[in-house]
A and B are shown apart, each in its own frame.
Chain A
Amino acid sequence: MEKIINITLKVWRQRGPKEKGKFETYPLSGVSTDSSFLEMLDMLNEELVNKGQEPVVFDHDCREGICGMCSLYINGHPHGPDEDVTTCQLHMRKFKDGETITIEPWRSAGFPVIRDLMVDRTAFDKIMQAGGYVSVNTGGIPDANAIPISKVDADEAMDSASCIGCGACVAACKNASAMLFVSAKVSQFALLPQGRVEGARRAKAMVAAMDELGFGNCTNTGACEAECPKNISISNIARLNREYLCAKLAD
C-alpha cells in the first residue's frame, strides 16, 4: 500500500572531474512509497529549481532498467539496496520514514566524474571498439536458419548478452576491474558459431583494451556478480579466462 515518507538525502556534488566534491544534505518530505527512486530525485530537483538553485545532475534515460544509463551508489550499493534492479527500477518502498539516504557517483579511475552523480563511461565503448563484434558487413549473409544452434547455447548466450553496460560491476569491485562486463560479451560470442570464428582474437583484444584503459585485475571477490542488476554470472569470467589462456597459448 502507498505510504508517504519524509527522508534526508546526502548527495555528492562535484562541479567537474578535477574539482573537489562534497556531500550536501537535503531534507525531502512527502515522498510516495510508490514513486521510483529517480522520481524522488526529480522531486528534489523540482524543489531546487524552484529555489533558483542548480539541480543535481545524474544520468538516466529509459527508466525501465534496460538502457544502462542510470547509475548511483546508494547507501553503499551500486543501484541501491534492492536485488536485481537498476536504480531507475528501485522504488521508495524499500526505504523507511525518517531514513537518511546517501547517494554517490560510481567511483572508479575508469569512470571519471563529469558533474555531481554523472560519470564518463566511454571506456566501455572503447573496449567494445577493440573487439566486441563479429566481423561481418551488411548484406551477402547466408539464411538465418542455415546454421542450427542448440537452444541451450542460444539461451546461455542470451543470458550473457543481457548485460546493459551500466558499470555497476566496476563500481562494486575493489580493484575497479571490468572483467564481468568484458567476459559477458566474450561469452555471448564464444557460445555462438558466428562468434566462435574470431574468438581468440576478440578475447585478447578486449582484455588488452581493458588493461590499457586503467581497469584493475580480477581477484575473484565476486562483488561484481552480487551487485550486477542483470544477474550476469561470474562463470562468464571463468570462460573468458579459458578463452584468453587458449588464445595466448596458441600465440
Chain B
Amino acid sequence: MTKIDSKIPQGPLAEKWSYYKSHQKLVNPSNKRRLDVIVVGTGLAGGSAAASLGELGFNVLNFCIQDSPRRAHSIAAQGGINASKNYQNDGDSVYRLFYDTIKGGDYRAREANVHRLAEVSGSIIDQCVAQGVPFAREYGGLLDNRSFGGAQVSRTFYAKGQTGQQLLLGAYSALSRQVGKGAVKLYTRYEMLDVVIVDGRARGIIARNLVTGKIERFAAHAVVIATGGYGNAFFLSTNAMGSNGSAAIQAYKKGAYFANPCYAQIHPTCIPVHGENQSKLTLMSESLRNDGRIWVPKKKEDAEAIRAGKKKPTDLKEDERDYYLERRYPAFGNLVPRDVASRAAKERCDAGFGVGATGLAVYLDFSAAIERLGQKTVEARYGNLFQMYEKIVDDNPYATPMMIYPAIHYTMGGVWVDYELQTSIPGLFAIGEANFSDHGANRLGASALMQGLADGYFVLPYTIQNYLADQITVPRFSTSLPEFETAEKEIKDRIAKLMSIKGTRSVDSLHKQLGLVMWDFVGMGRNKAGLETAIAKIKEVKKEFWSNVRIPGSGDDLNIELEKALRVADFIEIGYLMATDALHREESCGGHFREEYQTEEGEALRQDDKFSYVGCWKFNGEGKEPELLKEELVYEAIKVQQRNYKA
C-alpha cells in the first residue's frame, strides 16, 4: 500500500513551524525571476498567494474564470475572520484558537497544520490593516471584535457584513500592484481544464479562453490550485454560480488524492428555498446568531396555523416559543457550531414544528436585541444583511422575525496536501477551500477566510520555495512537449464528445437532478441505504448526462452552456466520491452525520478506534472504483474527547 507522508516537521507542536522555516530551502533573489509559478484562482487564497509570490520576485501567471480577480467567490463572505490577537483580553491565545479549531473539526484535522494556522492568524490582521482594509473599530480607535459559533471568546474581526469583500479587495489591491509592475500576468475569463504532468511533476495547465473558446497551453515550474470549494455539486448552495470542483477532479484524475470528500458543511442560517426556478441560496451571516434568537412554536397547532397563514410569529407569546438551541445547549445556546445548529433545525422541522409556507424554516428573531440595544445599533451591525433579506423575501426583519433554513455552504474535503500544502503530485500545490484543509470534519465560522489568507500570504510563499529550490537549474518548459500535446488533445476530444451528444436535456436540468440526489441522500442526515441509493442514482445521472445532454452553439467559441457542462460532468464525479466516502465512514463526525451513529440525545457519535484518519481517495482509472488510502491522525497535544456544547 502507498504510504502517505504528511511531512510534519519534528519537534514540539508549538515549535514545528519555526523549525520548518529555519531549516527549509530558499530560492535566492536572482533565481526567483527564472522560475514560473501558475496560480489558478484569485480568491483569498489564490489572490494573496499570487501577490506574495510576485512580491518575492517569482514570475507568476494567475488565472480566474470571472472578468476580474476581484469577483472570486471569497467576495461574498460576510461574517468575519478569526485571529487569536486577544485584543479583548478575554483569555484568547494561539493554543485556544488551535484547540477550538481541532474540537470544532471533531478531531479529524491534522494538529500540526492547525497549530500553524493559529500561529499566523495574527499576522493576517496586521497585513490587512496595512493594506487599508477598513475593519470595524471602537470609538477609541482600536479594532472591534465579535464572537462566532463554536468559540467562547471574541476573536472575530469584521468589516460590516462584508468582511470577505474587504479582505479580497485588499488582496486584489496587492495583486493589482504586482500586475502593474509586471511580476504577475493575469488571465481573466480563462478556465483551467487540466493539469499537465511531465516526468511525474506538475509542469503546466491547459486552459480554455472563455471569450474565444480557444484551448491554450501554459507551462511553469509549479502549479498552485486555489479554485475554491465544490458545494455546487448540490446545485442549490450558498456558493456563486461559477464555483466548481473541476480543478480538484482534474488533479485527482492525474494522481492527486481527494481527501475526505464527504465532509461538507451545511450552514444553519440561509434564506429558505422559494420555488422551482431558484438558482442559488443566500446566506444570512452566522454573526446574526450573536444577537438573534432561534425558535419555533412550542405547540404543533401554532406551527400549523403559521404555515396556513392564520397566525403570525409576533402573535406568539414568549412562553409559546421554543428556543430550542438555548434549551438543548445552555452553555453555547444560539452559538453552537454550524453542524449542531443545522441538525437541530432539521430535527424541529421534521418533527412538524417548522414554519414558512413549506414548513422548512425556523425563526431568527431580533426583537430582544432591538429592545436591548436599540434599532440603530442592530442596524449598524447587520444593516446590509437585513436589507438583503428584505429584498429577497419582501418582509421587514426589524418587525417580523427572519425565516432561515440550513443549506450547503462549504466543503471541508478537497485535494489532499501535506504540511507544505503540496499534493501527492510533486510541484502541484493546493490552497484555500480547494485543499482538504485544516478544518477537519467541520469548519468553524470565520475560519475559512483565515485559512485562505494564511495559506496564501504566510504559508505557501515559504513552503513552495522548498520545492522550487531544486528547480533553479531547470530551464523554462516548452508547451510543445508531447505531454502538453496529449493533454490538449484529450480536452478537445472531451469537448467534441459533449458537443456531439445533441440530446434533449439542458445542462441545468441535469445539474438539478444531481443536486436533489445529493440533498436527499448525501445531505444533513445520511445512512447506509440512502447512500447506496445515492450511488446508484448518481450513476444514472452520469449515464443520462453523457448520452442526453444538449449544448447549443459551437465548442470553439464563447459558449456558456459548454462551460456549465464541463463543470457538471465533474460535479457528477465529485458527487460519486462524496457518497462513496460517506458510505465508508461508518461514524458521525462534524459535518458528516450518519444516522446509525448517534448518541441517545441525537448527537454525533465518532468511532475513533476505526476512523481517526484522513480518507484519501486515489483514482484508479475510468469506470474503476477509487482506492482508499489512510493518513492516520495522531493527537499529541490534545486529548480527544466527545464534543460537548452543553456545559
Contact = CB atoms under 8 A, between A and B. Distances in A.
Interface string B250-285: 000000000000000000000000110111101100
Given A141-B130, A154-B135, A120 B67 contact: yes
Contacts of A48: 552
Contact of B132 (A52, A68, A134): A134
Contacts of B513: none
Contacts of A60: 241
A235 to B, nearest CB: 16
A128 B388 contact: no
A120 B241 CA distance: 19
Interface string B51-89: 110010000000000111111010110000000010100
A105 interface: no
Contacts of B51: 138
A110 B132 CA distance: 28
Given A67-B66, A143-B126, A62 B134 contact: no
Interface in A124-147: 124-125, 128-139, 141-145
Interface in B542-586: 550, 552-553, 558, 560-561
B499 interface: no
A141 B561 contact: no
A141 B211 contact: no
Contact of B129 (A65, A129, A144): A144
Query: Among the interface residues B48, B130, B279, B561, which one has the most CB atoms of the partner chain A within 10 A?
Result: B130
B141 A129 contact: no
Return the 10 tightest CB-CB contacts between A and B, nearest first: A148-B141, A133-B173, A129-B180, A158-B134, A157-B134, A144-B129, A138-B52, A128-B176, A133-B177, A141-B126
A150 interface: yes
Contacts, number: 221
A195 interface: yes
Interface stretch (A36-44, A170-178, A214-222, A240-248): A36-44
B131 interface: yes
Given A61-B242, A62-B240, A143-B126, A136 B131 contact: yes
Interface in A48-102: 48-50, 52-55, 57, 59-69, 82, 84-85, 89, 91, 93
B367 interface: no
Contacts of B553: 54
Interface string B138-166: 11111100000000000000011010011
A49 B126 CA distance: 50
Contacts of A138: 48, 51-52, 55, 127, 174, 457-458, 461
Contact of A165 (B68, B211, B457): B68
B509 interface: yes
Given A46-B509, A149-B141, A151-B138, A66 B162 contact: yes
B392 to A, nearest CB: 7
A57 B560 contact: yes
Nearest to A121: B67
17 contacts: A34-B394, A35-B274, A36-B279, A62-B75, A82-B391, A125-B68, A125-B179, A128-B176, A133-B177, A136-B130, A136-B174, A137-B55, A138-B461, A148-B142, A151-B138, A158-B166, A192-B132
A114 B211 contact: yes
B416 interface: no
B56 to A, nearest CB: 8
Interface of B: 48, 51-52, 55, 66-71, 73, 75-76, 85, 87, 122-123, 125-132, 134-143, 159-160, 162, 165-166, 169, 172-174, 176-177, 179-180, 186, 188, 211, 240-242, 274-275, 277-280, 282-283, 387-388, 391-392, 394, 457-458, 461, 504, 506-509, 550, 552-553, 558, 560-561
B176 A132 contact: yes
Given A67-B66, A84-B387, A133-B131, A149 B137 contact: yes
Contact of A63 (B129, B134, B240, B509): B240
A59 B552 CA distance: 18
Query: Among the interface residues A62, A134, A136, A141, which one has the most CB atoms of the partner chain B within 10 A?
Result: A62
A13 interface: no
Contacts of A189: 132
A115 interface: yes
Given A43-B277, A55-B552, 7 more contacts: A38-B279, A57-B558, A59-B67, A61-B73, A68-B71, A82-B391, A161-B169
B173 A32 contact: no
Contacts of B73: 61-62, 67
Chain A interface residue bracket vs B: 35 or more
A53 B552 contact: yes
Nearest to A145: B142
A143 B134 CA distance: 15
A122 interface: yes
A64 B76 contact: yes
A13 to B, nearest CB: 13
A132 B173 contact: yes
Contacts of A68: 68, 70-71, 75
B284 to A, nearest CB: 10
B240 A67 contact: yes
A89 B506 contact: no
Contacts of A50: 504, 506, 550
Contacts of B180: 129-131
A162 interface: yes
Given A61-B242, A64-B388, A39 B277 contact: yes
A194 interface: yes
Given A66-B165, A139-B127, A161 B561 contact: no
Given A54-B553, A158-B134, A139 B508 contact: no
B126 A194 contact: no
A131 B598 CA distance: 56
B417 to A, nearest CB: 20
Contacts of B509: 46
Contacts of B130: 134, 136, 141-142, 194
Nearest to A84: B387
Nearest to B509: A46
A141 B242 CA distance: 35
Given A63-B280, A89-B388, A148-B140, A161 B75 contact: no
